[in-house]
Amino acid sequence: MIARDIHVEIGGKPVIRGVDFNARSGEVTAIIGPNGSGKSTLLRALTGEIPARGRMSLNCTAIAATPAWELAAIRAVQAQSTTVAFPFEVDEIVRLGHAAGLAAGDPSVPARALAEVGLSGFGHRPYHGLSGGEQQRVHLARALAQVWPVPGRDTPRWLFLDEPVSSLDIGHQLMVIELLQRFARDGGGVVAVMHDLNLTAMFADRVVLLRDGRVLADAPPADTLTTSNISRAYNCPLRMGQAAGTGLPALLPQDQMRA
């Protein structure tokens, strides 16, 4: 995924001002930044959901020139929140995504995608009866079913996710993170807007830090998530530490107490 010099204006106000963005398949790329820094807007521009100036290509084809159904076969998108209009069952929602992908011929995929997100046996439950976290995982399963691997077709498949773990409890956050890492290790590409810096440090291969619609840092977690970068981006004095055992960058609220 390559994007060059992306500009987005919303209501005449520039929100993204000249962002270059790269993401490789086989890697998890996280987009972080303070509220209003343009994370979600950048993701929506990268998926072609909102009009943006600049050049964007996915798997070496220009996104603007590719019809929706062709993109849908190699790329699935999960929005920050999705409202479902009618009383669908979980399984019916997952199959909507499944039908758009290359694995549409394999009827076992929806149930397997639900198993991946820990919702085995939820297929015939009414979607509107689920909790917020369960609903979020239904949409992740829908995205997974859409880009489910097909033997013999090894074009990179992509997941674009806007805060995929925001409504999940810690156990399911870790489950989803491991799932996405596995997806990347199998050759897929993951681009995720993230809110939680510690989770980002744990699972991203590359972290893009945004501030006011510009890229402040774009590097592996250890180089992006530094005390100076984070303090500048979030506009308050913050101190990055290290997680015991792993040595990953970590930010504990307790460490930030101002004496």
Euclidean distance between CA atoms 139 and 92, whole angstroms: 11
Cβ atoms of 46 and 56 closer than 8 Å: yes
* Closer CB to another protein, 8 or 72, in the complex: 72
Q: In the range 121-150, which residues lie near another protein by CB under 8 A? A: 123-124, 146
Binding residue (CB under 8 A) for another protein from 27, 91, 116, 218? 91
Interaction between residue 242 and another protein (CB under 8 A): no
Cβ atoms of 216 and 237 closer than 8 Å: no
- Given the structure tokens 């992509």, which residue do they identify? 158
Binding residue (CB under 8 A) for another protein from 24, 25, 96, 174? 96
DSSP label of 253 = G
Euclidean distance between CA atoms 23 and 205, whole angstroms: 10
Angle at 45 between CA 12 and CA 175, to 5 degrees: 135
Interaction between residue 236 and another protein (CB under 8 A): no
- Compose the 17-56 pattern: x for residues touching another protein by CB under 8 A, - for all others: ---------------------------x--xxx-------
Q: Which residues bind another protein (CB under 8 A)?
A: 44, 47-49, 67-73, 75-77, 79, 82-89, 91-93, 96-97, 99-100, 107-108, 110-112, 115, 123-124, 146
